[in-house]
Structure 1
């Protein structure tokens, strides 16, 4: 499947998306567009060139600040700027095809580009379950010491990849 990733558009078919997790389905269907209009987050969708309005997967990014207690690594101030990877989901029809990794790499690239213009220390993700946390750990995300499903990836690590 030849896939392109772009920002969510008004005419995208959000209703047919099904990743198998109701909260993620409801978010893309009813919240993503509103958040984008209100400048609360940006949602990026993956769509096949053969079906450009059908969402195969998506992710959402938002600016945030994070308390650094529980973060291993370099000394940081008590609070640091971050990008929240608020959502990442793949439609069940595309599971097991590497689309989740493709979306994650695209998201990290967006963060890296933004960090060249605005100070950003890390990417934060709150994994829905242990399987999701394992997915992120595979790509270098580290858990907070006091919250194993809250993970972070320093921008410096993304730059080295």
Structure 2
């Protein structure tokens, strides 16, 4: 399966990226390279030559089993209190490229990458922590479910597997 994104590198022009959200812009400009270097997050970019059209980050995460809906908990061994997951930490599209479906392409790419990695490093879901109400609606539109007692959403890897 081919992927649309590549790992962020020094050849990408991070400084020209602007999505309209100061936190997401600042992360790419100042923090992403350090997070990649320290293995805290992997940052993937959709780029045309050096121009970054959008990016997302992935990292490992564990979630408490008791946060999952009851029907999912019943299918899991009770001894697994913490479950492995993948955190889709950030997803942003440059303002010059918004409204072109790039956010959806980035999400699909992130889900595909997460699914492929889950065959080698276990992950039972992709979790997101939406930055605002618009992001919350974006992820819900694609089937993400609320994690009770948190501001996070998740999509089970079993659901993602059906996509690919």
Confirm or deny a common fold (TM above 0.5).
yes
Is 1:10 aligned with 2:7?
no
Distance 1:145 1:35 in 2: 29
Q: Identify, as 1 or 2, the structure richer in strand.
A: 1
- Consecutive unaligned residues of structure 2, counting only runs of 5 or more, are none
RMSD: 1.4
CA deviations over 1:12-48 (Å, ceiling 9, x no partner):
1101100000010000011111111111111000112
* Match in the other structure for 1:88: 91
1:89 aligns to what SS in structure 2? strand
Is 1:67 aligned with 2:64?
yes
* Match in the other structure for 2:124: 121
TM-score, length basis structure 1? 0.91
Of 52, 56, 64, which residue of structure 1 is paired with 2:53? 56
Matches within 5 A, 1:8-157: 8-48=8-48, 52-72=49-69, 73-75=71-73, 76=76, 77-147=80-150, 149-157=151-159
Distance 1:69 1:15 in 2: 41
Q: Identify, as 1 or 2, the structure richer in helix.
A: 2
Distance 2:148 2:37 in 1: 35
- Consecutive unaligned residues of structure 1, counting only runs of 5 or more, are none
